[in-house]
Amino acid sequence: MTDFSTLPIRQEASAPAIGSRFYRPPLPAGDVYRPRLCERMRTGLDGRLLLVSAPAGFGKSSLAIEFCESLDDGWRSLWLGLSARDCDPGRFLERLLEGLRQYFPSLGDDALAILKMRQRHQPFAFEAWLDGLLDELAEQLSAKTPLLLVLDDYHLAQGVVLDRCLQFLLNHMPAGLVLLITSRQRPDWHLARLRLSRQLLEFNEQDLRLTAEEMLELVTASGSRVSGEVIERLIERSEGWIAGLRLWLLAHPEGAAQGCEVPLTGAEELIRDYLLEEVIDKQSAEVQAFLLQTARFERFCAELCDVLLDSHESAEILRHLQRHQVFLVPLDDQGVWFRYHHLFSDLLLTRDLPAAGPSAAALHLRACRWFSSRGLLDEAVDQALRAGHPEVAASLVQSLSEEQLLAEQNVATLLRWKMDLPDSLLASAPRLVVLYGWALALACQLDAAEELAAQLARFLPAPDAATQRDLLAQWQALAGIIARGRGDIELAERHCAEAIEHLPAERSGPRLMCLSSLANLAIVRGDSWRARGLNREALELAQRVGNPLLEALVHYDRARVLQARGEVRRAESELEQGLARLNGLPAHRRYARCADVCWSTRATCAA
């Protein structure tokens, strides 16, 4: 159980009068009651096992204490706080029997004598011993006064033999007895049958996280005068971790200034000591190195970690961290991607990397290469920037096509990278100039786009005629979009038309943007037939490229033409076709905004 020795204890809490070895500790002063969890836990009393498994400091023991205090009349509870000494199955069972005898004095006289006479170095038939004890216990248990047996901090005593004993207990548990276990790691039991028969109720880290209301209650109960802005920051950074929030409040008894930095500020020593003693220092040197080297990544998987650490054991280490609840947060249902709890990674980042391992820059460059090889360009660029190599980031950005820029909604990402790339680097290659010109134009930053597009003149004349035509055509396409944004219809039409005439076939993105612009300008001029022909050409191009989003956008343009001609039903049909092209696309490509536009336009047509 987590020990906050500096916190006062509730004076009003009552302790069970069944001996100090089975003393249930009271809740600390200022603790937040969690009736929603107790109510859910109460639904599991009809089964056999209540399992609370989460990392250190998530309030497992506090929840168990509160639940015991809230039991209905008739229920009794027996609390066994376990330690490493209880890893000896004989000692554990002896404690268990002595605890049960507090309620059933005549229980297991012979069994206790046999257990006391056993020799630790000799084999002992624990399951046979348990079988006899459970038969005897079943005769003394009553459905009117059931017993809740609590094993707190089971991970401290967990072992192969003890796991087998508890598995036997679960399989043969008599009516009137329910087991509640808190542990930092999930016991190695076969629980499928219990789960299927609704005899098991589990609570994990996600269940135990404090809600925003509970965190606010904890802050208020502490008496700390904290501003609303700081409370919001606390809620964001603590992620419902009770120990982290409580330690921060201990370090700020008088509150904090408006806008202060929350993570580890002031409470740094308290949180560091807690995590060092309770989690990090208990790991092997290999696992500690793994934690320090992977903490600087927002997400990681076993394959990436193998590349980072030049190892083949990352999957096993991740399984170890999961088993031992070392603040590992899964990011998907498949158990592939993970990150660390924010407060845990904050602490890890304050420690030096292992001297024998790669530097931080080398780790980020390795990650950059791995993400790039998997086609995850945005993360590859981010890693290059974190490594302090903007030239590598710029080289990666140049591999992005205009089609990707348009189809995968990368405008915001490109502009974010722009803030980290030197201006001299941005203007060092025509490819970067064109890409960032498009990003700025699509973001309606027309002056900045025009200024950057003018940089293309520095690369003229080009080494050969084909490159010369390509650069000029790309500039005209960009200039046409900028002119359209400024409402200069004639200039926009001239630039877009000339760009379409000279753009190479592989420049499908700029061609499609020019066709779309010309079609919309034709609608403005009232020439719906020309707009329709341009839309047809754009749709054929999008279908040849095989880009679903570009096809959906063309259907949207076609619907606008039909709407302008008063053909509402056909316009609706076009939008339906566009939406159909969006179905089934992966979520990470973020087409929701386009779908919203289509649906809103559909509503307008229907009206």
CA nearest to 66, candidates 156, 215, 145, 180: 180
Inter-CA distances, 96 with 17, 123, 148, 170, 196, Å: 16, 20, 13, 14, 28
Do 269 and 286 lie in one domain? The reply is: no
Q: Are residues 177 and 237 in the same domain?
A: no
Model pLDDT, residue 117:
66
Residue 590 lies in a domain: no
Mean pLDDT of 62-85: 91
Answer yes or no: do 267 and 319 share one domain.
no
Which residues lie closer than 8 Å to 330 by C-beta, 6 or more apart? Answer: 337, 338
Task: Kindly state the average pLDDT of the residues 203-229.
Answer: 81
In this structure, the answer to whether residues 456 and 414 fall within a common structural domain is yes
User: Residues 241-265: what's their mean pLDDT?
Assistant: 58
**Lookup: tokens for 247:** 């330690």
Same domain, 237 and 335: no
Query: Is the pLDDT reported for residue 251 higher than 80?
Result: no
Q: What is the pLDDT averaged over residues 267-278?
A: 60
Assess whether 105 and 216 both reside in one domain.
no
**Which pLDDT score, from 0 to 100, does residue 13 have?**
33
Q: In the structure, how many helices (H) and strands (E) does the chain have?
A: 31, 7
Confidence of residue 407 (pLDDT cuts 50, 70, 90): low
For residue 490, being part of any structural domain is answered with: yes
Average pLDDT over residues 227-233: 72
Domain end (from 208, 225, 253)? 208
* pLDDT > 80? residue 259: no
- The residue-averaged pLDDT of 394-403 equals 79
Task: Give yes or no for residue 132 having a pLDDT over 50.
Answer: yes
Going by pLDDT thresholds of 50, 70 and 90, the confidence category of residue 107 is: very high
Q: What is the mean predicted confidence (pLDDT) over 362-380?
A: 92
- Domain range enclosing 227: 212-277
Look at 27-31, 59-63, 320-324, 447-451 and tell me which has the smallest mean pLDDT. Answer: 27-31
List the CATH number of the domain containing 297. 1.10.10.10
Contact assessment for residue 194 and residue 223, using Cβ atoms and an 8 Å cutoff: no
The model scores a pTM over 0.95: no
Angle among Cα 201, 34, 176 to the nearest 5 degrees reads 40
Q: Please determine, for residue 56, whether its predicted confidence score (pLDDT) is greater than 70.
A: yes
- Please determine, for residue 270, whether its predicted confidence score (pLDDT) is greater than 70: no
Tell whether 322 and 195 lie within a shared domain.
Answer: no
Give CA–CA dist 94/113, Å, rounded.
10
Token pair in block for residue 228: 């609303």
Is the confidence at residue 396, as pLDDT, over 60? yes
- CB under 8 Å to 536, separation ≥6 — which residues? none
Same domain flag for 353 and 476:
no
CA-CA-CA-CA dihedral for 593, 599, 601, 602, to nearest 10: 160
- What gap in Å lies between CA 54 and CA 239, rounded to an integer? 14
Q: What is the CATH number of the domain that holds 44?
A: 3.40.50.300
Q: Which phi and psi angles does 329 have, rounded to 5°?
A: -110, 115
pLDDT higher than 60, residue 256: no
Give the pLDDT band (50/70/90) at residue 499. very high
Report percent pLDDT > 70 for the chain.
83
The domain boundary, picked from 277, 296, 319, lies at: 277
Q: How many domains does the chain contain in total? A: 4
Angle between helix 89-100 and helix 160-171 axes, rounded to 10 deg: 40
Region of 337 on the Ramachandran plot (φ > 0 left; ψ -120 to 50 alpha; else beta) = beta
Q: 347 pLDDT exceeds 70?
A: yes
Does residue 473 fall inside a structural domain?
Answer: yes
User: Taking the mean position of all CA atoms in its chain, how far away is CA 253?
Assistant: 31
Is 576 among the domain residues?
no
How far apart, in whole angstroms, are the C-alpha atoms of residue 55 and residue 241? 10
Last residue of a domain, one of 208, 231, 263: 208
Q: Give mean pLDDT, residues 160-175.
A: 92
Distance (Å, whole) CA 407 – CA 551:
10
User: Does residue 128 fall inside a structural domain?
Assistant: yes
Amino acid making up residue 539: L
Residue-level pLDDT at 172: 93
Averaged over 231-252, what is the pLDDT?
71
| Rounded CA separation 463/485 (Å) | 32
Does the pLDDT at position 590 exceed 50? no
- Other CB atoms closer than 10 Å to residue 256's CB: what's the count? 23
Per the CB < 8 A criterion, the answer to whether 41 and 171 are in contact is no
Asked if residue 164 belongs to a domain, the reply is yes
What distance in Å separates the CA atoms of residue 344 and residue 171, rounded to the nearest whole number? 37
pLDDT tens digits, 2-16: 332 332 333 333 333
pLDDT attached to residue 461: 87
Percent of the chain with pLDDT over 90: 31
Confidence of residue 21 (pLDDT cuts 50, 70, 90): low
- Going by DSSP bridges, is the β-strand pair 76-81/147-152 parallel, antiparallel, or unpaired? parallel
Mean pLDDT computed over 544-569: 83
Q: Which helix (H) or strand (E) holds 308?
A: helix 302-309
Q: 62 in a domain, yes or no?
A: yes
Asked whether residue 232 falls in the same domain as residue 351, the answer is: no
**Mean per-residue pLDDT, 144-173:** 92
E strand or H helix at 338 = strand 338-340
Is residue 227 domain-shared with residue 148, that is, in the same domain?
no
Q: Which residues does 28 contact at the CB level (< 8 Å), separation at least 6?
A: 4, 7, 8, 9, 10, 62
Residue 403 clears pLDDT 80, i.e. is over it: no
Decide if 377 is inside a domain. Answer: no
> Which pLDDT score is estimated for 255?
55
Whether 270 and 290 share a structural domain = no
493 and 445 in one domain?
yes
Q: Given the structure tokens 């947060």, which residue do they identify?
A: 329
Mean pLDDT of the chain: 81
